[in-house]
A and B are shown apart, each in its own frame.
Chain A
């Protein structure tokens, strides 16, 4: 295994609801060009390309091939990765494997979503189809009028069981979901690549948004965004020649649980907030990174939170605090940019969700914090090690990446 470094990051200039001015490959190319500018590399330096976006969302089934000359991939190995919400980080992991294995030296990972061009609910229907079979097997009337079928149309309905279970087991209340959502909207206001920004957001303001399905309100839910993110990875030898300072991959891990029922009843586990894959993947990542006490050794965390309660829930599941402690850390201000355990200073997925990029942006945001390049949303403490979390698949798949400010001793 070889060390792998992040040597370039490129975002589209904005992440917004609708990019009417460009077509899909043109939008992607903006992030590609910015990654080249950021790294000082040119297309000739790239050995292979990994591409990721959400399956079915824009109805484009081979976007990596359609975009071939917009992602500098002509005549090069290229593959597309799609694992649902986790896609961005799975693509990043694939890029990592390309280099760690010794097969390639410089790999570009391209992720995008242009949700305004498709129908996200239709996209989710395509993803949730196996769950519909599981729902039928669980005796759920998906086509009837009792409201149970609401979960079939999107994740907001389905996620309410998870949020409800989280509240029950942690002792937190809906007011804590309001408060973490408000914190992330305020953080987003300091991130030029965030979508929903509100520098004046408060828990009280969030609490005024209507309920979708208790305890989930509109103010707890991510937007649908258009945007692209590109990350260039290099082997240790190449990185030494290319950049003065890089963010280094210390561990990658991923884990799935019961493949058909995900969040709703989590198969035979029956607690949708248990999120066993997060616990397993985090444990494996800590082992691989040689981390004995993540609470002391990890300085910064980016959580994939399509829904606001997930920041708190997953902090507990990945062992960054005890069960029932996350909302108390929030109350004490510890999760803020100035806090002891800053989380999602980017604004998180709940503020920006161009889905293919969302799990990737958790990694790139960790890298920017390590490099001290996050600008207005740079956290106050020094960041030596950071953890990026991705959540997706059929609501039961988790990815973890741990980055550090120097290469790992192999």
Chain B
């Protein structure tokens, strides 16, 4: 059968919706810790590893981690990248300046915490650097309270 060139139709179905993700008691405890400028993790009763932020299970041992521990505010930069773009309202844009995103170890038993590292020239950042937490002036129990890390 012959077809004309206009063989498409574009139904427009406008949708407006929200996801309501609950963070649960472990993340809630983590954010509550921010109100006292504390970084909390949960410790596995079997292997002693610490999950930062805290979570319910140590998957390796299949144990519930009930013990909350406070981590030091200073740690070691284990891994990093230098960002050149940012995401703003779903759009990629050039960053004002290159910036450092680091994976930070706050305790030798702890998992790595991802955070922005400021106060260091991105071209001079090195694995193994000592960094420390910098808090917002007014903390309110939100993700943004822990503002960034900087060289210790």
Give A residues with C-beta under 8 Å from B: 19-26, 29, 42-44, 58-59, 68-70, 72, 74, 114, 116-119, 121-122, 125, 132, 136, 142-143, 152
Give B24-47 interface residues, CB cut-off 8 Å to A. 24-27
CB of B94 within 8 Å of the partner chain: no
Q: Take A21-B25, A117-B19, A118-B19 as given contacts and tell me if A136 and B11 are in contact as well, using a CB distance cutoff of 8 Å.
A: yes
CB of B62 within 8 Å of the partner chain: yes
Choose from A23, A26, A69, A118 the contact partner of B58 (Cβ within 8 Å): A69
Give B1-59 interface residues, CB cut-off 8 Å to A. 9, 11-13, 15, 17-27, 55-59
Q: Take A74-B60, A117-B20 as given contacts and tell me if A26 and B25 are in contact as well, using a CB distance cutoff of 8 Å.
A: yes
Evaluate contact between A26 and B11: CB separation under 8 angstroms. no
Nearest residue in B to A33 (C-beta to C-beta)? B64
Nearest CB in chain A: distance from B35 CB, A: 20
Evaluate contact between B24 and A26: CB separation under 8 angstroms. yes
Evaluate contact between A132 and B11: CB separation under 8 angstroms. yes
Evaluate contact between A152 and B22: CB separation under 8 angstroms. no
Choose from B21, B24, B60 the contact partner of A21 (Cβ within 8 Å): B24
Evaluate contact between B13 and A69: CB separation under 8 angstroms. no
Nearest residue in B to A68 (C-beta to C-beta)? B59
List of A residues within 8 angstroms of B19 by Cβ: 58-59, 117-119
Evaluate contact between A70 and B57: CB separation under 8 angstroms. yes
Nearest CB in chain B: distance from A153 CB, A: 9
List of B residues within 8 angstroms of A74 by Cβ: 59-60, 62
Give B79-101 interface residues, CB cut-off 8 Å to A. none
Nearest residue in A to B24 (C-beta to C-beta)? A23
Nearest CB in chain A: distance from B77 CB, A: 26
Evaluate contact between B21 and A23: CB separation under 8 angstroms. yes
Nearest residue in A to B26 (C-beta to C-beta)? A26
Evaluate contact between B13 and A152: CB separation under 8 angstroms. yes
Evaluate contact between B22 and A69: CB separation under 8 angstroms. no
List of A residues within 8 angstroms of B56 by Cβ: 25-26, 29, 70
Question: How many angstroms between the C-alpha atoms of A20 and B23 in the bound complex?
Answer: 9
Nearest residue in B to A72 (C-beta to C-beta)? B62
Given A118-B20, A132-B11, 9 new contacts (CB under 8 A): A25-B56, A29-B57, A42-B62, A43-B62, A68-B59, A69-B62, A125-B15, A143-B13, A152-B13
Nearest CB in chain B: distance from A184 CB, A: 28
Evaluate contact between A23 and B59: CB separation under 8 angstroms. no
Complex A-B: 25 CB contacts under 8 Å: A20-B22, A21-B24, A22-B25, A23-B21, A23-B24, A24-B22, A26-B56, A29-B56, A29-B57, A42-B62, A43-B62, A58-B21, A69-B55, A72-B59, A114-B22, A119-B18, A119-B19, A121-B17, A122-B15, A125-B13, A136-B9, A136-B11, A142-B11, A143-B11, A152-B13
Question: How many angstroms between the C-alpha atoms of A309 and B97 in the bound complex?
Answer: 63
Question: How many angstroms between the C-alpha atoms of A238 and B115 in the bound complex?
Answer: 48
Q: Which 6 A-B pairs have the closest CB atoms?
A: A69-B59, A23-B24, A119-B17, A43-B62, A74-B59, A69-B57
Nearest residue in A to B59 (C-beta to C-beta)? A69
Nearest residue in B to A121 (C-beta to C-beta)? B17
Nearest residue in A to B56 (C-beta to C-beta)? A26
Nearest residue in A to B21 (C-beta to C-beta)? A117
Question: How many angstroms between the C-alpha atoms of A306 and B58 in the bound complex?
Answer: 37
List of A residues within 8 angstroms of B13 by Cβ: 125, 143, 152
Question: How many angstroms between the C-alpha atoms of A20 and B21 in the bound complex?
Answer: 9
Nearest CB in chain A: distance from B138 CB, A: 27
Choose from B12, B22, B58, B60 the contact partner of A22 (Cβ within 8 Å): B22
Nearest CB in chain B: distance from A133 CB, A: 9
List of A residues within 8 angstroms of B59 by Cβ: 68-70, 72, 74
Nearest CB in chain B: distance from A373 CB, A: 26
